[in-house]
Amino acid sequence: MSMRSNDRADTRAAASRAAARRTAPVDLPTPAPSSFGKVERPNGPLGLGIIASLVTGRSQPNYLFEAAARENAPVAHLRMAGDHVYILSDPALVNEVFLDNARDVMKGRGLQAARSLLGNGLLTSEGDFHLRQRRLAQPAFHKQRIAQYAEQMVTETVRHVSPWRDGDRVDMVEHMTSLTLAIVGQTLFGSDLTGDAKMFGETLAELISGFGQLSALGNERLVRALPQGRRLLAKVEDLDQVVQRIIDDHRSDIANGHGRPDLLTWMIQAHDDQSADRFGATMTDDQLRDEVMTMVLAGHETTAMALSWMWYSLSVEPGIDQRLAAEWQSVLGTSPRVPTFDDIAQLNLTRAVVAETIRLYPPAWIMGRRTLVDMTIGGWQIPSGSIILGSPWILHRDPALWDSATSFRPDRWLNSEGQFDESAPGVPRGAWIAFGFGNRRCIGEQFAWTEAALLLATIGSTWRPELVPGTAVETQAAVTLRPRNGLPMTIRRRHLDAD
């Protein structure tokens, strides 16, 4: 056998090992047969343009979906890879499907395709198994735990920016991604993911973008049949090995009586008596692996994008940046100390900037569900098995819901006393959906608010990143909403007393 065919055989073997782990039978619901017969559908664009844009990444699916949704409000329809897809643009209808009818839908095509990477973890699992995993993971996100993580978040951040020098040119997307990856690794698994395996972050980034593009095909088997899909799966196996090492280390520390205070230790030790007969009392290594991968993925890329868009927004809004500097000076001092969890309550404008950034640039820009039963939504008969999309990008930028919808106005999140208040914008329920809904709502929401506010204050009170002049910043709506060509910025030292 030549080297090349040897390589190919290795790739195939690794891909099938990775695929085999993720095709173990799971409790997935199936859509009931529809009894609607022939139905009338709302208008909408041809799906081909959207599929092409998702697969090639050339045009902007967020703008395409938004235009389709607005032109055909409140329900637009298109065909995508054999599916009937409905885009909802009325917050009441989005709530009706994602919250009130949550038991009658399952995750949509994008996340189902992500099973190749995430297995059957919190993001992708369904029904009773999902509830069991949620029960096991929830204690790791209680307030006192987040307060404990806060210190580690700030320590990692200080360490990360310590090599920065005045005038350095950096890509803030890369920096925020490696920093949030390090934070998730430390806080949730007590592991240095960037150091243990620098390849972890790089491989994950490649997988997110690769699987993101392939998910438009909407068919896991097709993904596996393509050479690109097999290459990605072989890389999943590389990550599996790192994660298995982390699990083994934790198990042996627990056995030696040195269990660490982190999510993985709690998940290894957790017993679930309620569903022990169906799923076992404790989690297997494969289940742990899926949750680790899910938390790493869901917990770093989203926050990294929120922070990246924040630096971009502040760089183009110097007035807000100056007011933030004043807030940091008053809370942290002129020679600023590092912020703590308790400071967050006073960092009102800082939190308003976080909220306004993820309103305008929601990292999880679209959510999909497949209907399991026939539904009538907004007067339209939607047959069982259809896909329904709700999009923070579309709802957060709707001029009928938000004043100056496309302008960056953090003050909308401050109440009359100048305090941050999530209900201050006064929009209807379902118009602000950056973290999702009900029992599928982001489990890491408080983690994310804490991390974003602390990182912004820690870095911002010492550094003022400036966008390199002439840089055209555009959105790239992949799995998360990213700045398309990164974010080249010049780092300027900030002197709070001089600002």
CB of 101 to ligand HEM, least distance (A): 13
- With CB under 6 A as the contact rule, the residue among 45, 363, 383, 430 that binds ligand HEM is 363
- With CB under 6 A as the contact rule, the residue among 62, 157, 191, 303 that binds ligand HEM is 303
- With CB under 6 A as the contact rule, the residue among 15, 153, 182, 358 that binds ligand HEM is 358
488 binds ligand HEM (CB under 6 A): no
**Of 292, 241, 278, 263, residue with least CA distance to 123:** 292
CB of 178 to ligand HEM, least distance (A): 15
123 binds ligand HEM (CB under 6 A): yes
Return the HEC string of 64-132. Answer: HHHHHHHHCCCEEEEEECCEEEEEECCHHHHHHHHHHCHHHEEECHHHHHCHHHHCCCCCCCCHHHHHH
134 binds ligand HEM (CB under 6 A): yes
448 binds ligand HEM (CB under 6 A): yes
Residue number with CB closer to ligand HEM (15 or 305): 305
306 binds ligand HEM (CB under 6 A): yes
Subset of residues 235 to 294 that bind ligand HEM, contact rule: CB under 6 A: 294
Task: Show Cβ contacts of residue 467 under 8 Å, excluding neighbours closer than 6 positions.
Answer: 312, 315, 316, 473, 487, 488, 489
Burial readout 375-391 (b: 16 or more C-beta within 10 A, e: otherwise): bebbebbbbbbbbbbbb
Interatomic CA distance for residues 70 and 291, integer angstroms: 37
109 binds ligand HEM (CB under 6 A): no
Asked if 283 contacts 259 with a C-beta cutoff of 8 angstroms, the reply is no
Residue 9: how many other CB atoms lie within 10 Å: 11
Site size with ligand HEM, rule: CB under 6 A: 24
CB of 482 to ligand HEM, least distance (A): 13
140 binds ligand HEM (CB under 6 A): no
Q: Which stretch binds ligand HEM (CB under 6 A): 23-31, 32-40, 278-286, 363-371?
A: 363-371
367 binds ligand HEM (CB under 6 A): yes
**Of 202, 192, 200, 232, residue with least CA distance to 215:** 232
Residue number with CB closer to ligand HEM (208 or 358): 358
**Of 424, 367, 431, residue with least CA distance to 395:** 431
The residues pairing with 34 across neighbouring beta strands, listed in sequence order, are: none
Positions that interact with ligand HEM (CB under 6 A): 122-123, 134, 184, 294-295, 298-299, 302-303, 306, 358, 363-364, 367, 434-436, 440, 442-444, 447-448
